[in-house]
Chain A
Amino acid sequence: MADFEPKIVVYACNWCTYAATDLAGTSRMSYPENVRIIRVMCSGRVDPQFVLQAFADGADGVIVAGCHPPADCHYIEGNYKAFRRFELFKKLLEAFGIEKERFRLEWISAAEASRWVQVVNEMVAELKKLGPLKKNLEVKE
């Protein structure tokens, strides 16, 4: 599967991770083209429904990223809300048969452009190993 290019949907909070992705740009860092970033105001805004939608539509991986706990969140505790939801959600994904490597919850501060690049590189490499998401999700009668 040498030429398999995974597609990764990223939900990035406006204040930390989105700013880090901007910083990666202004610092002219380099990373693979596989990510598509969707800006939300807070990682606490990300509904698990979005992630499922992304997988259903063809995402090979999804990243939800926000501000570092305990106290970086612009909205006091939105990152904790995301943490609570997605730690539980990870278990659900496994029950769906979606490998745990396909979903990442990350804390990336506005200054951590290199961390962002690292996360993208790691995930692209892992997903290339895993191959495309097998979409045999339909329930058979």
Chain B
Amino acid sequence: MSEPRIGVYVCHCGFNIAGTVDVKKVAEYAKTLPNVVVAKDYVFMCSEPGQDLIKKDIKEQNLNRVVVASCSPSLHEVTFRTAVMEAGLNKYLMEMANIREHCSWVHHDKEKATEKAKEIVRMAVAKARYLEPLEELEVEAEQSALVLGGGVAGLRAALELANYGFQVYLVEKSPTIGGKAALIGYVDPKTRGAEVVNKMFEMVKECPRIKIFTNSELIQFSGFAGNYTAKIRVNPRYVNEKCTRCGECEEVCPIDVSNEYNFGLNKRKAIFLPFSNAFPPYYAVDHRVCVKCGECEKVCRFGAINLKEEPKIVELKVGALIVATGYDPYRPFKGEYGYGLHGNIITLFQLERMLDPESPTKGELIIGGKIPKNIAFIQCVGSRNTTPGSREYCSRMCCTTAINNAIKIKEKYPDTNVYIIYKDIMTYGSDESLYEEAGKKLVQFVKFEDKIPKVLITPEGLFIEVFEYTIQENIRIPVDAIVLSIGMLPPRDLEELIAVTRVSCGTEGFVREAHLKLAPVEAPTKGLFLAGCITGPKNVLESIRMGSAAAAKAMSLLSKGKLKIEPMIAQVSEEKCSGCAICVGVCPYGAISIKKVNGDRIAYVEKALCMGCGTCNAACPSGAMQHLGFKDVQLLAQTRAVFGEVR
């Protein structure tokens, strides 16, 4: 590029800058700096006449760099980039000098502030001399998406995407889709979780653009936004679509294991149907426990079972990935509020399941063989630092769920006393009405503060000892059954998920969004979106909404058919690169690899994967790797200019 011809434009911002900084002096000073052809001040540079001033000079004075000394780039970088572009200049040839937020607004001494503003302008001019034109690139985007996790959030996302016209691959690791919402009893007093899920199943069945892989895992994920390649391992189900769900196989199976689909309320066989409305509607063999005795294969009259089935690997091309792999319920340790020491101490998930009409008790409240006369919920188990193994956060759903089920119990068994032993009641939003209703139904609320309640297992029965906060007294409640309102944990296989997809963990152990307010439901890697409880505790409704939101984000990314790639990314000088691969290890996005060029090892940047952090540039020992827009020469020139020298 030819010799720099720089125009400097100093903004008054009304009195915001001009009230503290002598803008005329700053402009006069700018004229003395090397390569500055013109320097002007104006009352509002961002206004149309202000922008026109810049555009006119670019054309008339043949400027090839522009420095705007005004507010923070976070406010008007886009404005001025567009302005210079409209005047025919590459938009990356504009640099901003922040003399408002960094100077006039934080300093009061006019002389000192003016001197500082001059120096800030000098630093910007020094950098501007080294600016280069950069070009945005475009890549084709696959019109398809992979949804990982078949719970309500994943199902919702898949439906939105498919309805829009995208091909969707839904990958679920268990033998049925539906997630935990399919198992819990009532999501609100009138709606069963299973009903919500069943309706979603109907929609999914009618949608030809959703391909479902159950018993499947994502084992490899590579590429970049718009062009990802996903490798799926489809584990054998050992049962095919000839299955009529007659159940004869189940009777001959010799294996008994705890039934996770009833949260351990009963046992199941190695060959089993997860729940009556499971989808796909066939039995499945749990390969982890099956001993391959072959009894089921012999008894099946339809030839639906084949224990010799092998895992399959499927490769898919997708434009985006939605991670919706959900949560795990908190696992109380043995002895936590008596858990595991007495059969009548169960978890909230078990109770919810029990009250579902399809549960082993057919929806009846039967604990320890009979209907309890006194039942107590203990809240915040595993949440809000209440118990030793617990987490800091509130799990959001447990208060409403406990109250919802307390109401159900009161409606069905009016003679049963229900206690809710709580720290604070968090029935936020419209759920507050449930809290009121529970009060009307005479559910008894017992509040504790710092001292956590004690569960006593005695020959006379179960007791809860609690220091009641409102009456400031120790009380002892005799109960027949205790429900521990357990919260939510990040899923157990989170580490594998992180290794494969490069999503990252937040402080609470769940996957974090790129920015809670400015980039919600997005993962830091472009083209990856998050939905449901993988980002933290949510109720069913919130998870479904997040599924929709993630799908909308994926659609807005892919629907144009082409993706723009931000040009302020890493670039390798092939001459300087020695192929040492230090950059490969520091890149958080796996965007750099080593390639052979004419027999030499050279770092290669996958442009669409690079997010432009520049950490490879800082790590490169030979200066071969440069962060465009923040190159070594640019930042060093800026650093030197602090001390007067522009070179």
| Chain A residues in the interface with B (C-beta under 8 A) | 7, 9, 18-19, 21-22, 24-26, 28-31, 33, 36-42, 44-50, 53-54, 57-59, 70-71, 74-78, 81, 85
Give chain A residues whose Cβ lies under 8 Å from the Cβ of B281.
none
Given known A-B contacts A25-B100, A25-B102, A59 and B642 have beta carbons under 8 A apart: yes
A24 near B614 (CB under 8 angstroms)? no
Q: What 3 A-B pairs are tightest by C-beta distance, nearest first?
A: A25-B101, A45-B614, A44-B615
Q: Does B120 contact A (CB under 8 A)?
A: yes
Give Cα distance in the complex from A31 to B618, angstroms: 30
Are A38 and B638 also in contact (CB < 8 A) when A21-B102, A47-B617 are? yes
CB distance from A62 to the nearest CB of B (A): 9
Give bound CA distance, A132 to B507, whole Å: 41
A71-B106 contact, Cβ under 8 Å, with A19-B74, A22-B74, A54-B639: no
Per-position 1/0 for B66-78, Cβ under 8 A of A = 0000001110000
List 5 A–B pairs whose Cβ atoms lie within 8 Å, in order of A's numbering.
A29-B106, A39-B73, A44-B614, A78-B588, A81-B586
> Which of B101, B120, B123, B618 has a CB less than 8 Å from the CB of A22?
B101
Most chain A CB neighbours (cut-off 10 Å) among B103, B612, B613, B635: B613
Q: How far, in angstroms, from A71 to B506 measured CA to CA in the complex? A: 5
Main secondary structure of the interface of A (DSSP, over half): mixed
Interface pick from B81-89, B108-116, B290-298, B357-365: B108-116
Contact with A along B607-647 (1 / 0, CB 8 A): 00001111101110000000100101001101110110100
Q: Which residues of A contact B505 (CB under 8 A)?
A: 71
Q: Determine the chain B residues whose CB is within 8 A of the CB of A46 once the complex forms.
A: 618
Q: Which residues of B contact A42 (CB under 8 A)?
A: 613-615
With a cutoff of 8 Å between Cβ atoms, the chain A residues found around residue B112 in the complex are 33
14 new A-B contacts, CB < 8 A, other than A7-B643, A25-B105, are A18-B74, A19-B74, A24-B106, A30-B107, A33-B116, A38-B123, A38-B639, A39-B73, A40-B630, A44-B618, A53-B636, A74-B514, A76-B502, A85-B618
* 8 Å CB contact of A40 from B106, B635, B642: B635
- State the CA gap A59–B105 with chains docked (Å): 24
| Complexed CA–CA distance, A33 and B103 (Å) | 8
Does B504 count as interface, using CB distance less than 8 angstroms? yes
Given contacts A21-B101, A25-B102, A74-B514, contact A53 B639 (CB under 8 A): yes
Q: Mark B592-620, 1 if CB is under 8 A from A, else 0.
A: 00000000000000000001111101110
Taking a contact as CB atoms under 8 Å apart, the answer to whether B614 and A41 are in contact is yes
Contact (Cβ within 8 A) B635 A50: yes
Q: Point out the residue from A19, A26, A54 that lies within 8 Å of B642, measured CB to CB.
A: A54
Min CB gap A15→B, angstroms: 8
* Contact status A47-B101, CB under 8 Å: no
Contacts of B526 in A (CB 8 A): none
Give every chain A residue within 8 A of B589 (Cβ-Cβ): 76
Assess whether B618 is in contact with A74, with CB atoms less than 8 Å apart: no
> Which single member of A9, A28, A70, A75 contacts B611 (CB below 8 Å)?
A75
Does B512 belong to the interface (CB within 8 Å)? yes
Which A residues lie within 8 Å of B514 (CB)? 74
The reply to whether B107 and A36 contact each other, CB–CB distance below 8 Å, is no
Docked pose: A23 CA to B44 CA in angstroms: 21
Q: How far is the CA of A57 from the CA of B643 in the complex (A)?
A: 7
CB neighbours (8 Å) of B638 from chain A are 38
Q: Does A57 contact B612, Cβ atoms closer than 8 Å?
A: no
Query: Is A58's CB under 8 angstroms from B643's CB?
Result: yes
> Is B352 in contact with chain A by the CB < 8 A criterion?
no
Contact A7–B630 (Cβ < 8 Å):
no
Smallest CB–CB gap between A66 and chain B, Å?
11
Contact flag A81-B636 (CB < 8 Å), given A42-B613, A42-B614, A74-B524: no
For B432-467 the 0/1 string (1 means CB < 8 A from A) is 000000000000000000000000000000000000
Selected from A22, A29, A47, the residue in CB contact (under 8 A) with B72 is: A22
Inter-chain contact B612/A41, CB cutoff 8 Å = yes
Query: Do residues B630 and A45 form an inter-chain contact, with CB atoms below 8 A?
Result: yes
- Whether a CB of chain A sits under 8 angstroms from the CB of B217 is no
B618–A28 CB distance below 8 A:
no
With A28-B105, A33-B116, A36-B123 in contact, do A75 and B613 touch (Cβ < 8 Å)? yes
Q: Which residues of B contact A28 (CB under 8 A)?
A: 105-106
Q: How far is the CB of B457 from chain A (nearest CB, A)?
A: 40
- Give Cα distance in the complex from A49 to B619, angstroms: 11
CB of A50 within 8 A of CB of B639, answer yes
Residues of B within 8 Å of A25, CB to CB, are: 72, 100-102, 105-106
Asked, given contacts A22-B101, A57-B639, whether A76 binds B588 with beta carbons under 8 Å apart, the answer is yes
Asked if A45 meets B101 with Cβ closer than 8 Å, knowing A40-B635, A76-B504, A76-B588, the reply is no
* Inter-chain contact B642/A44, CB cutoff 8 Å: no
Inter-chain contacts of A77 with B (CB < 8 A) = 504, 588
CB-nearest residue of chain A relative to B642? A36
By a CB distance below 8 angstroms, the chain A residues around B172 are none
Residue B119 is within 8 A (CB to CB) of chain A in the complex:
yes
Residues of B with C-beta under 8 A to A49: 632, 636
A50-B639, A71-B507 are known contacts. Are A81 and B615 too (CB-CB below 8 A)?
A: yes
Is the CB of B98 closer than 8 A to any CB of chain A?
A: yes
Chain B residues positioned under 8 Å from A39 (CB to CB): 73
